[in-house]
Amino acid sequence: MPSAGPRRDTRGIVDAAALMARVHFRRHEPAEELRPYLEHYWLIDWDLAEPYASHVVPHPSVNVVFQRYGDADETGGPESRGEVSRAEVSGVGLGLFTQELTGVGRVCGVQFRPAGFRPFAPAWPVSRWTGLRVPLGEVFAEAGPDVVAAVLDPDTDRARVAALDAFLLAHGPSPDPAAERAMALVGLVREDRTVRRVSELAAVAGMSARSLQRLFADHVGVGPKWVILRYRIHEALERAASEERPGPPDWAGLAADLGYSDQAHLVRDFTATVGVPPTAYSRRASGS
């Protein structure tokens, strides 16, 4: 079942405190009809004197992203100097996503629930978009500049949210029981850390491992093993940056909690995904 309101955690955001100190970040709930399929809308505005590189370990989710970058002219009007506006469908990101933020910018994003995108674009398996960022018009043919302006131009969050609602409601969702099943299974992986293997998830689902793989490819965009691993890394990132526990995290204990055979496997996966070992990340996040 969908959660009550947008998520409040920062799972997946690398060094979330540093990002939040530089941008105005907020989440909003979509229209009621859309809530079973969407995590939330996420809105970011910034005005930076110096460039800043943000890093995110993506969720197993498709995002639709409306974005505007550029330095405003002296009047701050629509003729902003060097301003570029665009919209894209961002498939599930397989690696660390890095975006350099410069000057003045605005992003209005839609984060779908894992498997929540297929009902809006039923003609293709979600794996078609995995690892890709494609112009919005390649997926929604009639989505032109007017749609982008309707989302990005308003000054208020309420108006931007209303424009996002209108865009999505014009494109579905189409009923899809398989998508609902896939969403429920991904939700189980996210909430129940005792589900550590594909065979365990297949048993819970009453499916063969092969059928589970096909379901995830068609509706999530990545395999169940990848989803399990990604949520492990999100948990490790959050623990590494947690201020609730004094001292460094118990990495050996966390590895056991997350189903790793030993600490070395967690360190290897964390380093491959985030780019630095967990101990180094933890020191950086704590400022020590």
pLDDT, tens digit, for every residue of 7-50?
777 788 888 889 999 999 999 999 999 999 999 999 999 999 99
The CATH number linked to 280 is: 1.10.10.60
Mean pLDDT for the chain?
A: 88
Q: When comparing pLDDT for 26 and 71, which is higher?
A: 26
219 band by pLDDT with thresholds 50, 70 and 90: very high
* CA-based R_g, the chain, Å: 20
1 band by pLDDT with thresholds 50, 70 and 90: very low
Q: What is the model's pLDDT at position 4?
A: 59
The pTM of this model reads 0.87
Rounded distance between C-alpha atoms, residue 152 and residue 86, angstroms:
10
Which CA distances in Å does 34 have to 4, 20, 30, 221?
13, 27, 6, 20
Peptide bond into 277 cis (omega under 30): no
Across 85-108, average pLDDT:
94
Q: How many helices (H) and strands (E) does the chain have?
A: 10, 9
194 by Cβ neighbours in 10 Å (0-12 / 13-18 / 19+) ranks as exposed
Question: Is there a domain that residue 196 lies in?
Answer: yes
Unique residue bearing structure tokens 């749609």:
147
50 by Cβ neighbours in 10 Å (0-12 / 13-18 / 19+) ranks as exposed
pLDDT in tens, 175-186: 999 999 999 999
pLDDT in tens, 127-139: 999 999 999 999 9
Whether residues 98 and 183 share a domain: the answer is no
Q: What is the model's pLDDT at position 70?
A: 76
Q: What is the model's pLDDT at position 205?
A: 94
75 band by pLDDT with thresholds 50, 70 and 90: very low
Rounded distance between C-alpha atoms, residue 57 and residue 52, angstroms:
17
Whether residues 84 and 210 share a domain: the answer is no
Whether residues 103 and 195 share a domain: the answer is no
Rounded distance between C-alpha atoms, residue 276 and residue 287, angstroms:
15
Structural domain boundaries, residue 86: 13-169
Q: What number of other Cβ atoms are within 10 A of residue 165's Cβ?
A: 19
For helices 198-205 and 224-241, the axis angle rounded to 10 degrees is: 120
Which CA distances in Å does 278 have to 84, 88, 93, 183?
37, 32, 21, 30
Asked which of 137, 169, 201 is the last residue of a domain, the reply is: 169
97-101 sheet: strands from edge to edge? 13-14, 52-56, 97-101
Whether residues 49 and 182 share a domain: the answer is no
Whether residues 188 and 272 share a domain: the answer is yes
Contact yes or no for 15/241 (Cβ under 8 A) = yes
Q: What is the model's pLDDT at position 71?
A: 61
Q: Which stretch of 54-63, 117-126, 153-162, 192-201 has the lowest confidence by average pLDDT?
A: 192-201
Within 13 Å and on the Cβ side, how many CA atoms surround 209?
5
248 by Cβ neighbours in 10 Å (0-12 / 13-18 / 19+) ranks as middle
Q: Which of 269, 273, 281 is nearest to 239 (CA)?
A: 281
For the chain, the distance separating the N- and C-terminal CA atoms, rounded to the nearest angstrom, is: 40
Percent of the residues in the chain that have a pLDDT greater than 70, as a whole number: 89
Whether residues 263 and 141 share a domain: the answer is no
Count how many domains the chain has: 2
pLDDT in tens, 223-274: 999 999 898 888 888 877 665 555 667 888 888 888 788 889 888 888 888 8
Q: What is the model's pLDDT at position 285?
A: 61
Whether residues 137 and 219 share a domain: the answer is no
Question: Is there a domain that residue 244 lies in?
Answer: yes
Strands (E), the chain: 13-14, 24-28, 38-47, 52-56, 63-70, 84-90, 97-101, 104-112, 133-135
Whether residues 196 and 147 share a domain: the answer is no
Across 74-91, average pLDDT:
71
Asked which of 129, 146, 169 is the last residue of a domain, the reply is: 169
Q: What is the model's pLDDT at position 276?
A: 82
